[in-house]
Amino acid sequence: MPATGGAKKAGSDKVQVVVRCRPLNEDELKAGHKIAVNVEHDRGSLTVDLGRSKRSSEPHKVFTFDNVFGPDSKQVDIYNLTARRIVNCVLEGYNGTIFAYGQTGTGKTYTMEGVRSIPEKRGIIPNSFAHIFGHIAKAQEGVQFLVRASYLEIYNEEVRDLLNKNHTQRLEVKERPDIGVYVKDLMTINAKN
C-alpha cells in the first residue's frame, strides 16, 4: 500500500484489513500481564503466542493482514499507511469508508479520534479532516467543494448517530434502488473547517 496515496490505481478499491495492537494499559501492567502478540509489520503478520493456553497444542498462530501495527505505532504512520489513500480517492470524487471494529477496550476510539489537542496523537478522523481542508485551501480559485460528514456507531447490532444529541435513539439501516444502502434519519452536517 503506498505511503502517500495518489491517483486511484488498479486494485486500490478493494477492502483492506488492517490490525493495530494496542499497548498494555496500566491495570494490565499492574496485574503482570504480558503482550502475547508479535507484530511483523514488513510481513503484515501477527503471531499470537498460545504457549500458556491449555486449549491448544500449538505454541502459536500466525495471522496475515494487509497491514499490521504494533503497540509503539505512531498515529501519523497509521493514517499515512491506511487512510491517506482513501481520503485521496474521496478528494477525486470516489466514495470511501474507514471503520474500526473490535471488542470494547481494544483501542478503536484512540485510533479513530486520538487526542485532538496533541498533534502527534491525533487519530484518523482529525487527520482526515486536516488532509481534506488542506487540499481545499490549495485548490484553484473558483473551485467549490461540499464537505458533508456523518458519524455513527454500531454497538450490539444497534446503530446510533453520534452527531445527534440523543445518542440513545436507534436508527435503521435501509436500502433503496436509487441510492443503495443508507441509515434512515442519520444526521449529516456540512463541514466548513
Q: Tens digit of pLDDT for each residue in 113-169?
A: 999 899 999 999 999 999 999 999 999 888 888 888 898 888 888 999 999 998 788
Compute how many other C-beta atoms are within 10 angstroms of the C-beta atom of residue 154: 13
pLDDT for the residue 52 = 57
**C-alpha dihedral (41, 106, 126, 145), degrees to nearest 10:** 90
| Eight-state DSSP code of residue 83 | I
| Eight-state DSSP code of residue 57 | S
pLDDT for the residue 53 = 54
Q: Grid coordinates 464537505 are at which residue?
A: 147
Cβ neighbours of residue 183 closer than 8 Å, sequence gap 6 or more: 150, 152, 159, 161, 171, 172, 173, 174
Model pTM above 0.75 = yes
pLDDT for the residue 2 = 39
Contact assessment for residue 35 and residue 71, using Cβ atoms and an 8 Å cutoff: yes
Phi-psi region of 180 (alpha: psi -120 to 50; beta: other; left: phi over 0): left
Taking the C-alpha atoms of residue 174 and residue 172, their distance in angstroms, rounded to an integer, is 6
Taking the C-alpha atoms of residue 186 and residue 159, their distance in angstroms, rounded to an integer, is 9
Closest CA to 161 of 191, 129, 183: 183
pLDDT digits (tens, 9 = 90+) for 72-102: 999 999 999 999 999 999 998 888 889 899 9
Contact assessment for residue 47 and residue 124, using Cβ atoms and an 8 Å cutoff: no
Rg (alpha carbons) of the chain, rounded to whole number:
19
- Cell numbers given for 120: 502527534
Taking the C-alpha atoms of residue 88 and residue 29, their distance in angstroms, rounded to an integer, is 39
